[in-house]
Chains A and B, each alone.
Chain A
Amino acid sequence: MFEDATKILFVAILLTAAIVLTKRDILGIISAYSLQSFLISAVAAVMYAADGTGTLLFVSALTLCIKALLVPAIMKGIQKQIKIKRDVEFAYLSPVSALGASMILLLAGYGLLSGLIGNDRALAFGTVAGISLMFMGMLVVFTRKQAITGIVGYLTMENGVVLMSLFLTELPLLIEVLILVDLIGIMLLAAILSFGINSSIEEFHQKLVRPFGGKTVAPEEGSA
């Protein structure tokens, strides 16, 4: 029963990632991220119910409070401030191609990991789902132009790391990656709040160089 519930949750988590990848409405994207975090919290709760490890309950509660409630609330506040409702521009890949690419990554992840992980299917599926979520978050970062959607992409990647770490515990590298992704997200959020980026990073860069006649200021000769 626990295994079935976990599988349903994995599928729902990947579906929320697909929504983040393809949806144009920013509030909808943030809500999908919130739901994704709630589902990851539910995975941890189900795992706690199955084996009774207290840490899992702590992870579940923390994920629910911070990622499912607090972070989306802050992001919705930012979205209200920057007054952008939709992210309709895509770079490199259209939503359809991005969804196709994420499917290929899902199958590739399975192909790569099925040999490495033994016969524990729940462990394998959890790991594959986590890695797929990371890749899908990465695709969001690559394909979306608005800075706020990019942050949701980073947060999705981070959710992927959390999901994977729930199954592959005691891996310091995962924690390193988790902190790194967090740092990038925090830096971008801080940039949005302090510099008022209400567009894509490229447009913001153009705004910065506009006072210098639209050209990047080159360092003077011999100054280096």
Chain B
Amino acid sequence: MTGDFMIYAALNVAFVLLASPLFMTIIKKVKAWAQGRKGPPLLQGYYNLAKLVKKETVYSPNSSWIMRTAPYVNISVMLVAALLVPIVMIPEPAYGMGSVILFLYLLALGRFFMALAGLDAGSAFGGMGSSREMTISAIIEPITIVVFAAMSFALGTANIYEMFAAAPAMPSLLPIAGALFIILIVETSRVPVDNPETHLELTMVHEAMMLEQSGRNLALMEASHAVKQTLLMAFLINLFLPWGMAGPAGIIFGALAFLAKGVLLCVVIGAFESSVAKLRLFRLPSLFMAAFFLSALTVVMEIFA
């Protein structure tokens, strides 16, 4: 591996790990403001992770090796995915890195292990959460593939590095912004699809799968969820607000620019979550179909471009 790529890999993964809890907390804070509350301090996400790492990990007597390995598989998968999505600088595509198909498979692998871990402890809630998660993913995954395929078609490449490098403000990409936002909401289990704040059995999806996790394992699961959100946010930010993406010389400026744009996007996500009600499970296909419609529009627009 070249030195440049090593620097990129270390910086990208470190930045994603460091910034992700902050983004999660900002969304919580915006939602709290919308409800007339003060909300948690900005560093609460880091405190929570530090507290969980120190706590004892408790396993259900019915659980198998899946419960023990799933958190590590999840965080590993997300960190590998973090290598594929440039955040602060765009390296030269090398070693086959940056494939959008590999990125989608990694997301699916993480989801698969999370659902398995939900089932593994044998609790009713875990099984219910896994079942719901798989139902939703069975609908959203084809849509995600179509959205990323439309994006690849519009940008003329299936390599994420090249996509970000060639991302001027193309009008044909505008519908994709809406579709990516829907995917971000669905993949990170946010309102109106799921509610990350709730532990009500009628509404839980993602939280139900995490109920049996504790201590360090829960910290890893929470961190991998936050990393996934940052990576999906990076698509929106780097494709539609590409200003500030740096070469190797301006890494600090690039990181600060991404942080600022990330905060802005978190405010939008928080405001969006606060302004909509949770949808019934059977109404979700309407939301997914909207993403599909936007992708089809992108393809048609690109044909006419």
Q: Please tell me if the beta carbons of B300 and A99 are within 8 angstroms of each other in the complex.
A: no
Asked if A11 meets B175 with Cβ closer than 8 Å, knowing A18-B290, A99-B293, the reply is: yes
B interface, how many residues as a size bin? 10 to 19
Q: Please tell me if the beta carbons of A11 and B174 are within 8 angstroms of each other in the complex.
A: yes
Q: Please tell me if the beta carbons of A110 and B300 are within 8 angstroms of each other in the complex.
A: yes
Q: Is B274 an interface residue (CB 8 A)?
A: no
Q: Please tell me if the beta carbons of A125 and B286 are within 8 angstroms of each other in the complex.
A: no
Q: Please tell me if the beta carbons of B293 and A11 are within 8 angstroms of each other in the complex.
A: no
Output the least CB separation between B248 and chain A (Å): 32
The contact of A110 among B175, B289, B292, B303, by CB within 8 Å, is: B303
Q: Is A34 an interface residue (CB 8 A)?
A: no
The contact of B171 among A7, A14, A110, by CB within 8 Å, is: A7
Inside 8 A of B66's CB, which chain A residues have their CB?
A: none
Complex: chain A residue closest to B170, CB-CB: A4
Q: Please tell me if the beta carbons of A14 and B286 are within 8 angstroms of each other in the complex.
A: no
Please, how many angstroms separate the alpha-carbon atoms of A194 and B294 in the complex? 41
A-contacting residues, B92-145, CB 8 Å = none
Asked if A4 meets B171 with Cβ closer than 8 Å, knowing A22-B286, A99-B290, the reply is: yes
Q: Is B297 an interface residue (CB 8 A)?
A: yes
Interface size on A, residues (CB 8 A): 24
The contact of A8 among B174, B178, B285, B290, by CB within 8 Å, is: B174
Q: Is A95 an interface residue (CB 8 A)?
A: yes
Mark A63-107 against chain B: 1 for CB-CB distance below 8 A, else 0. 000000000000000000000000000000001100110110011
Please, how many angstroms separate the alpha-carbon atoms of A165 and B293 in the complex? 25
Please, how many angstroms separate the alpha-carbon atoms of A125 and B298 in the complex? 12
Mark B32-68 against chain A: 1 for CB-CB distance below 8 A, else 0. 0000000000000000000000000000000000000
Q: Please tell me if the beta carbons of B292 and A103 are within 8 angstroms of each other in the complex.
A: yes
Output the least CB separation between A100 and chain B (Å): 6
Asked if A95 meets B300 with Cβ closer than 8 Å, knowing A8-B171, A11-B175, the reply is: no
Mark B152-176 against chain A: 1 for CB-CB distance below 8 A, else 0. 0000000000000000000110110
Q: Is A128 an interface residue (CB 8 A)?
A: yes
Q: Please tell me if the beta carbons of B172 and A7 are within 8 angstroms of each other in the complex.
A: yes
The 8 sampled A-B contact pairs (Cβ below 8 Å) are A7-B172, A8-B171, A11-B297, A11-B301, A22-B290, A106-B297, A107-B300, A128-B304
Chain B residues close to A by CB (< 8 Å)? 171-172, 174-175, 178, 285-286, 289-290, 292-294, 296-297, 300-301, 303-305
